[in-house]
Every structure is written in structure tokens, then in C-alpha cells.
Amino acid sequence: MALLDADADVALVRIRDLAGRTRGTGFLADHDGTVVTSHEAVDGAERLVLQPLVQSPDAGAGATAWTRPVGPGAITPLPETGLALVRTDALRPHGLVPLPVAAGRPAAGTAARLWAGGWLDGTVVGPGRDVTYTATDRVHLLDETLELGLCAGGREALRLGGPAVGGPVLDARTGVVLGVLGTALHSGRRTGGHAIGLHAVAEAAPRGPLAALLERNAATVPAYGSELNPAGALRLTLLTAEAAGRLPRCPVPVERPELAAEFTRFAEDEGTAPVLGLVGDPGTGRSTELARLTETRATGPHPAPTVRLCGAELRADDDGLHTAVGRVLRSAGLTLAGAGRTAGDPTDLTPDAVARLAAAAGRPLLVLLDAPEEMPPELARPERLAAWTAATGDWLRTAGVRLVLACRPEYWERTGALFPPGLLHRPPRPLPGLPPCLGIGDLAPEAAERARGRYGLPPRAVAPQDARHPLALRLLAEVREALVQGDADGHRPHGPAAAPDRPQILDAYLSLVCLRIARRIADGHRPAPRGTALRRLAAQVAGQVHEAARRCLGTGPGTLDRTSFEEVFPPGAGWAAAVLAEGLLVPAGPGYRFAHEELAEWLQGAHVDLDLLPVPGGHRIGPAVQGLLLLARREGTVQLTFRLAELVPMATAAGPPAAQAEDGRRWAAQLLAGVLSRVPDAAPYTGVLRLLADRITERSLRAGGFAHTGLEMFGPWFWERLALADEDRMDLLRRLLPADGPPAAARQPDRAAPPPGDRAFAEPPRVRVHPAPGERTHAEHPHDEPTEEGPAHGAPPAHRGGTPPPPERFLDAAAGLLRADPERIQPLLCAWFDDIRPLQRPTAPTAEPDGAAPAVPRELTVASAAQALLHTHRRRAPDALLEALVAAAHPKGDELLAALAEDEPSALCRAVDRWAHDEHPRRRLAAVSYGLRVAPHATGATDRARLRQAALRLLSRPEDEAHHGSALALLIGDPAARPGFLDRALARFVAGDPQLPPTAFAGALTDDPGRVLAAFRARLIGDEGPPVAGPLLRMLARLDAPEIAARTAGLVRAYAGHCPDRAAHPVAAFVGHRLERGPAARAALRPLALELLTGYPAPVRCALAAVLVEPGSGDSAPLRRELLEVLLAREAWYAEKAPHGTYAEPGAGRDTRVLEALLRAAAEGAGERPEERTRELVHRAGTLLARTPEGAACFDRQLAELGRGVPGFARRVQGWVTAEPGEWETVVGPGARATLAGCPGG
């Protein structure tokens, strides 16, 4: 629709000199006051006067008499193009409207309208050739001109210096400016006239002032149809946004910076995926944020086109989103065309044209689709929806358009999965359990506080569970305002409770709206009902509202068709107008819907048939959830528990992921998750939750991990959001922990071997199950304190907004709770120590790229995972952790305390001091127990002082006599306290105090070896208390100081000689340890060993024989062989020279015990030494025994027993006998050979 001449007149400006003579005409080209004219109009003039040609319809009286002088600085002459620009900022107050400039060069034959003192008809013949412009200083050859064909009398109007100077040339069809007339333009042939083409000149000088002006003109002065420019596209898209609804103003909803930042990144970043899902439950502000985004893009420093539509505007026959976008744009064009004349036809456009313009301007077209759930049921069928989504994705990709789709989780779960791969934008923190999307939920605490301030709500005005819900705050503010103001005749709506929850707020809001509707209906009657009659009318309105909700319940998209709407709210009685005026229902496509989706579902929930709930498709998910919540409020939690328990088997049945699952399982899972996540208190439903957790764990174990169960909506995030006490939540996470699949490669423990002396994780947790934020691995800095200032080396990067992403594993969820409140969660994790169920592990570890075998951690159980969590996050509350572990009194806790004694000695020293002063006997017992464990690691002066103070406190309590030995052990381990308590400790040790182990005197041996070794000798010989010979001699075997070694040899001689039976094995173990201590230790050991082998009773020699036949290390082998030869030689001498043996019992035969012990040790250790050495030992023992009939029988008997008892020994002996029958014939008798042949494996 072209502009009329009168419409163009309001853009024209007459240009005069200071004497009042007319020099030409120009037109306003932008809203900044820039006038375009011919260079003839300004040539040779330093100062000019501008005057509007006509009075604008929007200007006040006297506008035509206005003049504006301009100086040389406001004039930009462009003589080489025949144009000039004049800038003034005083045109806007006088109602001048700029004209749009054509976006391209006109085609030959284009009909035109020319201003030459009046409007003339003309035609664009084509581009001009050899056109010159004669200025006052020189002649310019113009390349970019238009040759015009004029009507009768047109040439006279274009005479030199006439009124046509600078006049615009308009496209007669659209009204856009094609060029500027010039009367000083000449060519070598006869033509009707010439004009300077603006677009061609701007193209020739793309960085010139005219190009910048035309760019500004296209961005601010709308044109439509074939001349559509960015300003026209922006105006059309704004109309679509206004039709969808504006952002509320009283007051403006609070901003959500995290959403705004993500919208900006999505809309402006190049290379991002074109589809963003904005997913949230009803009432969380999806539509509000879309309205805010539309307004931000329209009013920002760089306005960008945004098309906003709702699902109800889609049609069943739409091929894709582009069809609906084109329809709403054409509807906006009709609205614009009906408001007045425009430059071009606003209904003549396509969505692709708008998209191309937006993409060319660097600001892609953004389409906002709100509530797609309201699309027609025919379009929502799976096959049609898949085709619609595919077509939409193709259009978005090819046209460069971006889409924000605002919907509820249940819709996005299925529709998001239908978009082609790579089209979904992934925010930094996507919602878990769904295709990538941006979540919107309750307000952040700070934003909720600002919202309450804007709405005028006092603190604690809303129930805690709904204190951050956007719609609840908004509706409550409206209700409270109505309660304060009241109606004109004193009637007020039914108000909510002091701190109402969401159902109470919705109920109060419904009462308020019904009363307002009743007032509007009553105003149409004379006399208007008041008082009781008005309240009765409001009750009737409420009944009709419930009827409307009931009818919406039966339709697919939840809307009310026009016929039903008029039946429920008769137009003739004013009901329909009143309902629409109050905004309770709003138009939605061909019908109507409730303005607030959450209110609609709450109303419809009262009419849900609960018997149809297990049947998919009986109801929409939102009303079904509200119906079950209403059941709990009306009939109690027991009834709801029964209903939910019925849904658990269906929701957890085996099958594909929920998004592709059959309707029954998907429906049950959505219903179950929706109800459990919305109940204000989930404690009454812990039985259902335990059943659900157990079913999920069972499914995960069968499927090989939770990710393969198809139960993503019951992921860790679901259990975190339940309204449960920490005790119940942690118990459920414990049940779910085995459901975690095998950890990914990134979660495997560090496969590089730690440096010597370091550990990847303190025992007992041998792998790090969950890394602490900012904590370095022990392999890097085993004792560094983690810092919160920044991520440590190897830690994951910080997340946007400073908040971690939702947990992907149930173990992560437990770790998050532990980080948030360690003092409360630590005791709850200790309750996991009894759970020995194994966690899932990788089935087939793959080799490393370098060929090395991967390190596979030991099998983890729920209990060991709890240990690992507590150890990993120990530094958040170490004192509380120690208290929790002691209170648990569990072996797993003791293991962890032993690890903490090494990793956190300072904390454990504090705890020991604290427990020693505690009045509870169990705490004092813990003090002595863990004080001894931490003492070797307490190297600091402060830690030692704490242990010393704790020990002194225990010694001062007579009732703790049983702990005095342990207290003395602590004190003598401290060099500062040792001199004052050593005698007392030695006396108790000799007396057999079980709380004083020999290792407690390790430090005192260096200071005073004589006294300590004397006490050791007295204890060994006296045999008071529990046996200590083994650990005592092991400790002494590790001491290499010459003086101590010499005294220790004497102690060993005395002990072995005094009680050989009891001393045999400890002494033999002592010899074995000393053999491996190095050359100096072996040199000092040799005399003692020879003496033990030749002069001590058979029990001692038997034990030494078992030690000497061991292979040992390579360095100790020569001495072992030498000592063994001495032993065998002595045993041979006993057999020959002492028939009854020096140490044989009176009346007994020859003593063969030593040779039997040697034979037994050789057979049992055959797998650890070369077979030839074993054959030699067996043959030597047999040869010595076979010298007498009694010995030969003993040898055969021992061979038979060892053949039956030692795997593989019978086979070895038979092999030796077969290989060398002559050598073994005199050693192994026939009976032994037969017995060996019948042994297993023989």
C-alpha cells in the first residue's frame, strides 16, 4: 500500500537562503533530523534556513511558520555525487516523518512520483549515461543517475533553478525514495530529466556519509512488501509480540540475570545451535521471561526482530514452524495496514524474507514459541509431531533463524528428542534427565526477596515451600492489595491464611477474580446487585469457572472452544465480556484458555477421575498431578500412598528411555515424579520412595548402569528436590548408590603410580571415589590443604554463576549434601558402614594407549564409598567427622580413623585431648586407643603437647586404672616426658600390662638401652601378661646399632635357653628378620645362629630349620646355606655319635624332629624355590633319616603325609624317583612309593 502524496509531504523541507529566496527542496531521511537534497540547493551558500513544507497532522498550530537556520557545520556537500546532507535536530518536535529509501536500484519502467513544486507522474527509463553536474566551481561527471520519463509539462518543472531542485523521486507503487532530482544535470542527448539514485551512490561509496545515512534509514524508517527493510521487519515482529502479551508493569517482575545472560549468549553468539528449550513447570515464569526477552531485544541499543506466538496459534495442517510464523506476520501486516498507509504492502512478505534481513544485519530472527502443548491434537500425534519438528529444524538451519521453545518438562522430554542432532543449544547447566535445555524454576533467594519487596509482601508472608514461587508471590500480592482496598461497598474477597501455601493462594485468587467478574456483570443491571446478592452471583461465577475447567479437562491442549465458552459464559448477559476483561481466560487460537496455566491445572485437578489415572491419555499430566495432590489434602496421605504404590511397578518396568517409551510407562513415571516432587512433605511417602529406589537399583544392576535404565526422570536431581529430612534422603541415596553405573574414565583413580612413600588415597579407602572441589590429589601434594580461592590443578573449570551443575550420579548427590552441611551429614554417612552391597565396576578394562595395563581399583561397596566420601571431604569439618566416627563405633569407622591419624594428625590430636577430658568412659577409651595410633604422626610441638596433656589427664583419674598403661605408652613416646615416666612404664611392662606394647619403648631403647632390655628380658623370662615375644623380638630385629644388637643377642640366648619350647618360633622369626637386614646384621648374627644351631634344644633347631630352608633374598642365601649345612652336620653327628641324643627324652629313640621339620618346610615351600633345591633338601633329609630303620620308616610316613597334604608334592617326588631310580631306591621305600602314586595329582 503506497504512501499518498499527502503522506510524503510531511517529510519535505523547503530550503531558503537568508534573504528568503527558495533554493530547493529536501526530504527528512532519519529521526535525527538529516535532510537529503541536491547539491544545487546548497552550492555557494554558507548559511541556510530550513522550513517544513506543510503542517504535520501530529504537529501543533503554527508548525508551517517554523524556520531553522543552519550554519556551514551542519551542511555536508557531496558535489561529486550531486547530493548534499543537511543536519538539524529541530525537526522532530514539528511532526516531520522521515521517508524510507529504496533498498535497491529501480528497474526500468518503474512508475514514479516526482516533487517539482507539486507531485508529477513519471517513469524510470533506466540508468543515465554521460551525465554531468555543473557546480559553481567545476563540472562533475556523475556515474550513478537515473533517466526519467516525464509527463506533459514535466520538463518545464525541471528547469534550471526551479522548484524541482532536490525534490525526491518516489516509487509510485510503494512510496519509497528512489532518488533526488537535479536541474543542473545534463547529458549529450535529449531526455525528460535526471535524478541521482541514492542506493547506487551509497553502493559506490560504502563508507561514505550517504551510506551511513541509508543504513540508519533502513534501521529506523519502516518499509514493507518488496521494499521490506530491517525497520519494517522489526515493526511487524513487535506487533506479534504485543498480540502475545506484554511484560507486566505493576510491578515489573524481578530480573533473572542467569536467564538473561544465557538468552544473550544464545541469540548473539555465532555458531550456537538454533534451538533453545526453556523448560519449567507452570507458574515458574516462562511466559514472563519470553515477554522480557522480546522487550529487551526491541528496546536495546541494537533492536532485533523477535516473533512471539503460542502453541494455540499452530494449525493441524502446518508444515512446520515457518508456516505459523508467516501466518502471524501476515496477521500483523493486516493490523498495520488497517492502521494507516505504509510504504509498501505489509501483508506482502514471507518469513524467509524477514529472516534474510535479520541475518544480513547480524541479528538473527528469533522465534519465541510459548506453550507448544496447546497445539492442535492432530498436530501433536507422534508421527505428525515428528514431521513438524523435522521441517522446523530444516527451516531454522537453512534460514538462520533461532527458536526459543518454552514448555513444561513432560513436553520437552519427548519433543526435544525429535529435533535433529546438533540443533539443541546446551547451556552450561542443563536440566538433568532431559534433552539439553535451560531450566526455569523458583526464584533465587535474592530475587525472591526483591520480588517480595516490589509486591509489598512482608517477610514470611508465604509458606516456606512456596516462598520463591513467582506466580504464588504475584497472586498473593494481588489478593492482599484487594483485602486492603476492599470493594466500593465494603465487600472483600475471601483472604488466605497468615502464611498460605500455593493451593490456598490459588483459592483466594479465584475468589477475588470471581468477585470482580460478578461486579462487572452486576454493573450491567439496574439496579446493580449488592451485598448478599453480589456474593451469590460471585458463587455462580465460581461454579461456571469450575465448569469451564471441567470442559477444558476433556480436550487435548486444555483449551475451551468458542461454542463451549459462550455456553458457559453467555455473551448476552455480559458474562463473556466480564471474564475476558478480568483476564481469567484469554483468547488462544480459535478458542480460549485460562491465563495462568497453573491455576487452570489446579482447577481441573478437582474434576479428575482418579480411577482413570493408570490409563494413559485419560487426562493430561498437569491436572492428573493436581488431582492426586488434592486427594492427599482431602482424604489424607494414606490414600495417596496407595495410589502412588500402584504406579511404581508400571513406571519402573523394563523398556526404552522414557522419551521413547510406550505411553503407559512414560505416563506412570511422569505422574509419579510430578506428585512426589510437589508434595509439601514427602515423609509420609518414604515407603513408596524406598520401593521406587529399590526397583531403580534392581533395574540398573540388570542394565549395567543407571544411564541404561530409561529412568532419567528419577535421577539424582529428583531425590535432591524431594521435601524430605536429611536422614530419609541419605537413606534413599544409600539404597540407590549401587544403581550408579561403572565410573567413566575421568572418574577412575589416577593410574600413574604415586611417588615412593605417597598414596593415591589413605587406607582404608584405596581409591578416591569423589574428588573434593579444589582439592589436589595426594600424588601431587599429599599434605596440602585444599583452598576455595580457585580450582586446583586438574580440577574442573568453574561453572557459570558459581554453582555446580546438577549431579549425574547418586554418589555425587551424596557428596553435594556432605559439602553443604558436613556436620549433619557425616553421622548419616557413618550409618552406611553396615551396607556391604558392591558398587558396579567396569566389566572389561581396556589397556592404556602405551600398552600398560590399567589400574583396577579394589571392589567398592556402599560402606567403602561412604568411607571414601568422608575421607575426601574430611577438611570441611574434621572435628565433627572424628566425633561421628567415634560415636558410630564401627570397624569401618576405626579403619577411617586409622587413615585420618596419618592424614589429619592435628585434628585427631585435638580430639584425643578432648576425649581424655570427657566424662563418658567410651570417649576416654577412644582417647587412649587413637592417641597411640596418632602418636607416630604427631610431629608438631602443639600436637605432642595435646597428647601429653591427654595422657596426664588419664593418669590422674584412679577410675581409669585400665588406661594407665596406654597413657604411659603415650608419655614415653614423647621425648619431653619420657625421663619422668620410663621407670613406671617399665615396671608395668614387666608386670604384664597389656596396654603397654613393646613398641612403646622404641624411643627409649635409644636413650637407655640397658634398662629397657633388662625389662624386656624380665618380661620374656617371667612370662607375665599376654605373650609379647613375637612383636618384641621383631622390633629388636629392626635395630642395627652395634651396642643394641650385641645386648639383644644376649637376651635371645637367655630366652631360648630358659624356655626353648615357648621361645622357638619367636627366636626363629628373629633370626629370619636379621638375615634380611644387610651384611652388617648378618655378620653380627652368625655367632648367635651357630650357637643356637649347635647348642640348643630340638624345638629351637626345628624352628630354625624352617627358617633356613626359605629362599630369602639373594644376599642372605649364602649365609642360609652355610647355617643349614651346620644344622645338617650337627643332626648327622647326633644320629651317629649320640644314639639317644644329647637332648633326647630318656628312654626314647633317636630324635628325628629337626629332620622332620626340615622335610616339612622343604615340601611346603617348594613353590617358592627352584625345584632342584627342593629335591636336594628332601634327598639330604631322607638320606640322614634312612640310616636307621626307625628313621626310614619316619621318612616314608612323612612323605606319604606330605604327598596327601601338599598339592603337587607327590608328583614332584615321583618325578625325581623316576628320573634317578638308583639314587632314590635306598631312600624311598616301596610303601611310600605306592602311597605317593595314589595321592591326588600323583
Q: What digits encode the pLDDT tens for the residues 964-999?
A: 999 999 999 889 999 999 999 999 999 988 888 898
Task: Print burial letters for 814-850: b (CB count within 10 Å at least 16), e (below 16).
Answer: bbbbbbeebebbbbbbbbbbebeeebbeeeeeeeeee
**Helix, strand, or coil here: 115?**
strand
Residue reference for cell 512482608: 458
pTM > 0.95: yes or no: no
Q: What angle do CA 419, 421, 424 make, to 5 degrees?
A: 65
- The 10s digit of each residue's pLDDT in 928-956 is 999 999 999 998 999 999 999 999 999 99
254, part of any domain: yes
Number of folded domains that form the chain: 6
Which pLDDT does position 421 carry in this prediction?
80
Residues 393, 326 share a domain:
yes
Residues 238, 106 share a domain:
no
Domain boundary among 1116, 1151, 1186: 1151
Residue reference for cell 628378620: 1073
Residues 1137, 1188 share a domain:
no
Q: Compute, in degrees rounded to 10, the torsion defined by CA atoms 265, 270, 271, 277.
A: 30
Q: What CATH number is given to the structural domain containing 193?
A: 2.40.10.120
Residues 87, 37 share a domain:
yes
Residues 509, 647 share a domain:
no
Domain boundary among 220, 246, 264: 220
Task: Read off the C-alpha cell for 202.
Answer: 551509497
783 φ, ψ to 5°?
Answer: -120, 15
Residues 278, 173 share a domain:
no
Question: How far apart, in whole angstroms, are the C-alpha atoms of residue 822 and residue 830?
Answer: 12
Which pLDDT does position 615 carry in this prediction?
66
Residues 305, 190 share a domain:
no
172, part of any domain: yes
Residues 230, 212 share a domain:
no
1179, part of any domain: yes
Question: How far apart, in whole angstroms, are the C-alpha atoms of residue 858 and residue 476?
Answer: 57
Which pLDDT does position 549 carry in this prediction?
93
666 φ, ψ to 5°?
Answer: -65, -45
- Residue 861 is given by DSSP the state B
660, part of any domain: yes
789, part of any domain: no
Residues 149, 78 share a domain:
yes
Please name the residues in contact with 1033: beta carbons below 8 A apart, sequence gap of 6 or more.
1052, 1066, 1067, 1069, 1070
- The 10s digit of each residue's pLDDT in 550-568 is 998 865 788 888 999 999 9
Task: Read off the C-alpha cell for 652.
Answer: 519402573
1209, part of any domain: yes
- Residue 1208 is given by DSSP the state T
Does residue 464 have a cis peptide bond before it, meaning omega lies within 30 degrees of 0?
no
Range of the domain at 14: 5-220
Q: What CATH number is given to the structural domain containing 320?
A: 3.40.50
Residues 480, 465 share a domain:
yes
**Beta-strand relationship, 560-561 and 591-594:** antiparallel
> Which uninterrupted H or E stretch holds 237?
helix 230-244
244, part of any domain: yes
Say how many CA atoms lie within 13 Å of 273 toward its Cβ. 16
- The 10s digit of each residue's pLDDT in 396-439 is 999 999 999 999 998 998 899 999 888 999 998 898 888 999 99
Domain boundary among 665, 691, 714: 714
Residues 187, 71 share a domain:
yes
Cα 378 to its chain centre, rounded Å, is 37
Residues 213, 86 share a domain:
yes
- Residue 44 falls in which region: left (phi positive, over 0), alpha (psi -120 to 50) or beta: left
Cα 543 to its chain centre, rounded Å, is 46
**Residue ranges of the chain with pLDDT lower than 50?**
59, 61-64, 93, 487-489, 658-661, 745-803, 845-857, 1138-1148
982, part of any domain: no
